[in-house]
Amino acid sequence: MDKVHESFAKLLSQHSLAIETQQLAQFETYYRELVAWNEKMNLTGITEREQVYIKHFYDSLSVSFFMSFYPIYSVADIGSGAGFPGIPLKIMFPHLQLTIVDSLKKRIGFLQHIVQELGLHGVTCVHGRAEDAARLPQLRDNFDLVTARAVAKLQVLNELCLPFAKKDGMFVAMKGADPSQEIDAAAFSLRELRAELTKVVPLQLPMDEGERHLIVIRKTGSTPARYPRKAGLPLKEPLEVKVKSF
């Protein structure tokens, strides 16, 4: 085990996660392919090996630091880009059935390649807008856990992501610095999408690599038929209470 792997394993052990040699090998292949494909398409601004392990891999796994993943079966990662947080979670917890949704075809192509290279089973990569994918009966109101990192602000994310979660399922939005303003602005969208805020978990990346917050939301009922609205509208006209002026 080299120094980067040693420190990665040690950091994970602090969260009671034991990583095996074969999983480290999968992370290493993922790292190499990410950097190689990044030469021909825009996948990540971070390419230095140790930084990728901390800012992408460890950060992605942080979702599992505060909740047990063993009772979780199905995960949908919306706007996964180069695979974060979905692929690191799948490597660490191979029992997961992972569905990835991204609107960029090239990135879905990269992810299909990664799934094959790493020999992952139970991963479905869907090319399309979340607004359209959430209308597919096999994806709607169906997942134990939905994740999204660096996709949009919370009031938009709620409309893109919550339709995938089943009743009593969870949605975890991965955010950077203090998200309290975003959370306030998202109150109406939460009600509209039949969900409630459970907690906000503050985290610090190792080696002073930054502050993170996980916004944990529980789905309380089925998605109303009118949501999500047509593709593009959640971003263009985020759900919020319209105040009429007289």
Q: Which amino acid is at 154?
A: L
Q: One symbol per residue from 169 to 198: x for binding ligand SAM (CB under 6 A), - otherwise; what is it?
A: ------------------------------
3-class secondary structure, 221: coil
Beta bridge partners of 165: 143
As measured in angstroms, the least distance from the Cβ of 141 to ligand SAM is 18
As measured in angstroms, the least distance from the Cβ of 153 to ligand SAM is 12
Of the two residues 22 and 42, which places its CB atom closer to ligand SAM in the complex? 42
What lies within 8 Å, CB to CB, of 97 at 6+ separation is: 73, 74, 75, 122
- Determine the Cα–Cα distance for residues 125 and 80; give it in Å rounded to an integer: 10
> Pairing state of beta strands 211-219 and 74-78?
unpaired
104 binds ligand SAM per the rule CB under 6 A: yes
214 binds ligand SAM per the rule CB under 6 A: no
- Determine the Cα–Cα distance for residues 17 and 221; give it in Å rounded to an integer: 32
129 binds ligand SAM per the rule CB under 6 A: yes
- Determine the Cα–Cα distance for residues 95 and 144; give it in Å rounded to an integer: 13
Using Cβ positions, the residue closest to ligand SAM within the complex turns out to be 81
Pick the binder of ligand SAM from 91, 98, 151, 154 (CB under 6 A): 151
Of the two residues 2 and 165, which places its CB atom closer to ligand SAM in the complex? 165
Pick the binder of ligand SAM from 25, 41, 150, 177 (CB under 6 A): 150
Q: Residue 168: how many CB atoms within 10 A of its CB?
A: 10
Greatest distance between any 2 Cα atoms in the chain: 69
Of the two residues 72 and 173, which places its CB atom closer to ligand SAM in the complex? 173
Enumerate binding residues for ligand SAM (CB under 6 A).
79-82, 84, 101-104, 107, 129-131, 149-151, 160
